[in-house]
Chain A
Amino acid sequence: MTAFKKNVDLVMVKAVARILILSTLLLAMSGTLSAQRATSLSDQQISIEQNAGTLSDAVASLNRLISGTIYYEPTLADIPVPAIRAVDAPLGEVLEDLLRASELGVLYHRGSVAVLMPASDLTTTYTDQYYQALEESIIAGQKQDASERLVGNVDSISQSGRTVVRGTVTDLETGEEVVGATLLIEGTNNGTATEADGSYVLELVAGSYMLAVQYVGYQQQRIPLKVISSGRLDVALTKSAVLLDEVVVQAKSRDVNVQAAQVGVTRLSIKEIEKLPSFLGEVDMIKGLLLQPGVSTIGEGSSGFNVRGGNVDQNLIMIDEGLIFNASHALGFFSSFNSDIVQSATLYKGTMPARFGGRLASTLDVNVRDGATDRWHLKGGLGLVSSRLTLDGPLGKKKKTTMLFSGRSTYSNWVLRQVNVPEVKSSSAYFYDLNARMVHRFDEKNNVSLSVYATEDQFSFNDEFGFDYGTQMGQLQYRRVLGAKMLATTNAIWSRYRSEQQDLDGVDGSDYMTGLSYVKFKQNVSYLDEGLELNAGASGIFYTIDGNAIEPRGDLSVIAPEQLDDEKGVEWGIYADMDLQLTPRFSIIAGLRYSIFQYLGPRNTFLYEDPNNPSVEGILEPVTLTDQVVKSFGHIQPRASFRYRVTPSSSIKAGYGRTVQYINQIFNSETPTPTNFWQLSNQYIPPQLAHNFSLGYFHNFADNLWVTSIEGFYRDIDQLFDFRGFADLLTNEHLETELLDGIGRSYGVEVSVNRQVGYVHGWLSYTYSRSERQIDGINEGAWYSSNFDKPHDFTLVTNFQINKRNSISINFTYGTGRPITVPVSKYRVQDRVVVLNYSDRNIFRVPDYHRLDLSYTLAQGFRKSKKFKTSWTFSIYNVYGRKNPYSVFVEQSTQSGTRINRLAVLGSAFPSLTFNFELL
């Protein structure tokens, strides 16, 4: 308490001192205002009789007589002043007499404050905000109580009175940053949310406020706040023992959609995703992503996701700074992200920040959290097909090092062995993923982290065929704070992805292998200042693509071994971007990225008659290119977005971004499979280029209770490629002959209505989107729909927080059926074989997709102990058993003739039960 009071006194003194230091003089208007406001104090009638002495004695006497306060700089305290005698005289006259012999003057403020300062300092215009700041600083010194938090100091009072409050929101128990926590100034529309590192920035006018800080799973804090100048305010939240119905469940601040300049950003709340109905009880981040506007998939069981009509491989998926080339488990039914360790997940589907590059459509930036700093924690879940366990905590007494270990594994093998069918017993389906992270903080300004990520999937059926694929990744990150406003981050990453398809028996017995590895370095420097954020850096990624290989398997196999040459390439990038608030209404994010891609030699390849249109018929001769760099590409990629705030609760945003992609996934099916491979751009396969445009209007209603937006987008793609019919892709040493290049476009509108808080909350989104291509050699060069062209997509997510323990979530999804190519006629050849005659590519559609999911969560509510928390989640996926067709195909049989069938990957309702626990 003593220390606190001392601090308050210091503030008060500094406030006065600051006034004296400022060389200002009141101009007419503000002077008039000041004079008007000062009338009541300067006109107060007082009677006083005091001998000559010091200024401090005189002011002390006067302060006892007036209903207001007279301030002065402590250094002036000992200035001698004459005796004063007055009877019912105005204070103004008394002070004038008192100061006449000195060089001091008086500054009156708001009728209750008079500040004594050198008369020469009274020279500059002060704004109302200045006076407000001044007043608050003074009042803070006078009335501060223990519950009030003070931000800033007098030294930093800005002339405009505007302040920037920065800070971090952490978990009180673990010290871990809370990502996505909402900070809202009550009674205003002003608010923000914490970033990936738990930090936030809030712009305020100096004054007193009530700040509400909240995040799901934590108790809400209401903090009386007194802001004097720009400064820092850290907040520690306490975990709630049970799910709190009053907790606002949202991934962002209530009005971030209106405030932020970035357009087309979706920030996923893992806590929110955990409440969604899950498939087989497995909480899946990607499934949550698919409920966002503009994000879709072509069907259950397909790997990856499509953003605004983009290919699956056009999404940059990153875990911290590491690139992920296959984020699916179980052939696509689950993703490889363990939600227990994800700190934040942000999808940039519009204009990507310049620090991201290498993909056309989107960036999914997933960050793994650090281990807890206070003590060891255990968290896990038991589901029907898999379980997960996370252990994290500090090392050593000083707790400068934290560790996090997390694993997830399926026991579907055990399930399969219980099926009394020999073929099933001899089948296996298995996956796991592991994450480990160590963070060491050398001091407040330096820390280093080492992360390991590994996934593995194995699948085999009855010793006939199987898949085996996995990713290993190691990341080393060093962060150094440079001064008060700069942060330098250095990353070094190594990763390897490999995939194998096995045909286990017969004459086709074979192992087909593909994969890639890369080494990435990235250096980023961030600069943060009031209303300004700068990022600049450089990166290099060295790719090694395994040459596709096929090897015979088993004695009967007649498959000839083949091994293509490895490919190497390097992608360099330098970038800078700036997030600048120009005016309260207008802010802009502008960035520039320049990338260079070098396809490295030496390389065996072919020469073609027409290099722009390689064909098997046009092969001239095989050659070996001995150049160190076979082909080089360079692209400038400007990115810009701006926000214009129309009203406090509405804004218009627009964005443009140029994106380039130098590595592409090659697959000749409607969705990528684990055995698809990646291909670098080379002298025959140019990089894909896109222009991305976004325009949106964002409007919140009822004090941000309802958040709405409408966003349009258009993407124009050059040098897009698609595959010839019946393309032969595997171990094809002249792959370019199977590709056809052309152009593409996608466009659409996303409408979203989100109710953020309350007993019933959730969102409704509708997306109209088209994704089309025009390629010579396909559909006679006419525009045609891509595989993921789904014009209408509707999602309704509703959460009912019945009470602290019970919550229900209901999701409904509807989407247009995806395009397909089906046989339209048939003919018989050689009087035997009936041949199906297929339509032009993708001119038909499967029937529409719709699905209803339910989940019920029973949280722990009555257990006294806060050490061990549990919850049960019961889900039903596809409640009414809709047989959503993944595809339509024709079956011919001698007995039943020709039938048109639909294949529904999930054709019935899937109930599941998950038990979650957490030991704090």
Chain B
Amino acid sequence: MRHLVWISCLLCWGCIDEITIDLPEASQQQLVVEGTIERDQKNYIFWALVSNTLNVTGEGTFEEVDSDVRIIYNDEHTIHLIAGQEERIPIDLFHTTFGGTQENAQFHLEARVAGEVYLSENVSLVPVPTADSLSVGVEVRPELNMTGNIISVPYVQLKAHTPLINDVGQRTSLQWQVTSVYRFIEAVRDSDPFYQPKVCYMPYDGFRNDVNIANAQEFAGKDRIDEIVIAENRNDFRFSQTIYFTVVQKSLSQDAIEYWTEVKASNERSGNLYDVFPGKIRSNIQQEGDPEALVNGYFQASAIDTMRLRVRARDVEFPRRFCFMWEEPEIIDPDSPDPCLNCLKLGPGVSLERPWYWEL
């Protein structure tokens, strides 16, 4: 439906702009209680956190709230966690220690915050189908630039190809979590023919806020899904050299897919005529003393499968290396933010160390 906004803009350029409105509720902070259990080929990965909401336009970080968080396995065994930190336990070790099997394992979250106890429903892990492959494509779209002219903008789309049926024959709802690392090579320097341009590896998490899901119920009768777009980015300098996408494919229970569907609907409202009504996003966590109280957050269990795709400039028809036309300054300033001069200035997380999966 975002296209409808675009069509509207065709009729009246410049019709979307930023405004300020009074939000009297903005100052009221609310608790967010959440946790995840993921199971890859080897480990259970536990994580939980209690945090506060932020003003919708507020800057800064989401403030963690002191809490005692734990995961309860099969209503018997407690795994104490440090809020915000992953706890990995090998699958074999876990079941050796606590008993039971992967198939019948059930978990729930318990969080104690300021004297209140928050409990989640029991969740179990649904096996995830093993993904086939990833691919990229380029789609060119018209957009309005700052001066109101229509320009064509190329976008790189990352697509997934995967069966929908898991190993136990269940049609499974899926979620994709996409991260990337791109390579950035500094410019050669005419003033110093012997200068060896550094090669940096910069993590790029521009897709972190995307909600990429597929509801198995909508695909009834289908055994697989192809070319579903799970990430999209302007075909910019990040694709001028090589970029690696890492995609974590997660299984979702029916309850979890409904939760993420609501999150997606909330986040992707574009203000157009056809937006669905927003609502209070459901949660599977309750406050023990007041079950009717609204709780933000969700406790999710997923089996995961990880895929990677290397994308070179020619794969996305990126015309030339970003620093190709770089003009060397007369005086080299070591503190210059210019990444063509010093790629370590690309930003937080940049590294000269090549990721372990990176193929040359």
Contacts and interface: CB of A to CB of B under 8 A. Distances in A.
B142 A424 contact: yes
A833 B19 contact: no
A903 interface: yes
Contacts of A864: none
Interface stretch (B182-190, B217-225, B313-321): B217-225
Interface in B154-199: 164, 177
A829 B35 CA distance: 9
Given A826-B56, A835-B263, A907-B15, A302 B273 contact: yes
Contacts of A299: 273
A839 interface: yes
B17 to A, nearest CB: 6
B26 interface: yes
A906 B214 CA distance: 35
Interface stretch (B46-54, B113-121, B123-131, B327-335): B46-54
A529 interface: no
Interface string B100-116: 00000000000000000
Contacts of A331: 273
Interface stretch (A318-326, A618-626, A718-726): A718-726
Contacts of A791: none
Given A461-B7, A827-B54, A890-B56, A421 B142 contact: yes
A831 B20 CA distance: 28
B32 A829 contact: yes
A908 to B, nearest CB: 5
Interface in B1-45: 3, 5-8, 10-21, 23, 25-26, 28-30, 32, 34, 36
Contacts of B36: 830
A462 B221 CA distance: 29
Interface string A799-843: 000000000000000000000011111111111111111110100
Interface string A29-65: 0000000000000000000000000000000000000
Interface string B255-275: 000000111011101111111
Interface in A828-885: 828-839, 841, 844, 847, 883, 885
Contacts of B140: 422-423
Contact of B273 (A669, A830, A841, A892): A669
Contacts of B211: 833
B201 interface: no
Contacts of A836: 56, 266-267, 278
Contact of B209 (A670, A671, A833): A833
Most chain B C-beta atoms within 10 Å of own C-beta, residue among A727, A847, A907? A907
Nearest to A821: B278
Contact of B279 (A559, A724, A897, A901): A724
A889 B270 contact: yes
Contacts of B224: 558
Nearest to A787: B277
A908 B9 CA distance: 11
Contacts of B32: 827-829
Contacts of A886: 271, 273
Given A725-B279, A726-B279, A901-B16, A890 B269 contact: yes
Contact of B274 (A462, A507, A673): A673
A726 B16 CA distance: 25
Most chain B C-beta atoms within 10 Å of own C-beta, residue among A827, A836, A885, A901? A827
A825 B25 CA distance: 8
Interface in A56-91: none
A892 B25 CA distance: 19
Interface string A886-920: 11111110100111111111111000000000000
A905 B6 CA distance: 10
A901 B273 contact: no
Contacts of B141: 423
A782 interface: no
Interface string B48-70: 01011111111100100000000
Contacts of B325: none
B227 A506 contact: yes
A465 to B, nearest CB: 6
Contacts of B62: 827-828
B296 A837 contact: yes
A422 B271 contact: no
B276 A833 contact: no
Given A883-B17, A889-B269, A905-B12, A726 B53 contact: no
A900 B56 contact: yes
Given A725-B279, A900-B19, A421 B25 contact: no
A906 B226 contact: no
A515 interface: no
A844 B21 contact: yes
Interface in B212-246: 214, 218-222, 224-229
Interface in A367-424: 419, 421-424
A899 B18 CA distance: 7
A646 interface: no
Contact of B25 (A824, A829, A887): A824
Contacts of B280: 725, 838
B263 A833 contact: yes
Contacts of A834: 209, 267
A302 to B, nearest CB: 6
A482 B7 CA distance: 56
A906 B57 CA distance: 26
B281 interface: yes
Given A507-B225, A823-B56, A725 B16 contact: no
B79 to A, nearest CB: 18
A560 B164 CA distance: 13
Nearest to B61: A828
A301 interface: yes
Contacts of B19: 847, 885, 888, 900-902
A907 B17 CA distance: 10
Contacts of A470: none
Nearest to B271: A889
B267 A908 contact: no
A730 to B, nearest CB: 10
Contacts of A841: 277, 279
Contacts of A906: 11-12, 15
B297 interface: yes
Contacts of B5: 903
A563 interface: no
Contacts of B49: 831
A556 B226 contact: yes
A424 B10 contact: yes
Nearest to A674: B274
A655 interface: no
A421 B47 CA distance: 48
A464 interface: yes
A734 to B, nearest CB: 13
A754 B233 CA distance: 57
A913 to B, nearest CB: 17
A743 to B, nearest CB: 19
A332 interface: yes
B222 A560 contact: yes
Contacts of A900: 18-21, 56-57
29 contacts: A299-B273, A332-B273, A419-B150, A427-B7, A464-B3, A558-B222, A558-B226, A560-B221, A668-B277, A669-B276, A669-B277, A670-B277, A671-B274, A821-B278, A822-B56, A828-B62, A829-B34, A831-B84, A887-B275, A890-B56, A892-B209, A894-B206, A899-B18, A900-B56, A900-B57, A902-B18, A904-B16, A905-B12, A906-B15
Closest 5 CB pairs of A and B: A725-B279, A907-B15, A889-B271, A887-B271, A907-B12
Interface of A: 299, 301-302, 331-332, 419, 421-424, 427, 461-462, 464-465, 506-507, 556, 558-561, 668-671, 673, 723-727, 821-839, 841, 844, 847, 883, 885-892, 894, 897-908
Given A825-B56, A907-B15, 7 more contacts: A726-B265, A824-B26, A825-B28, A826-B53, A829-B32, A898-B56, A904-B15
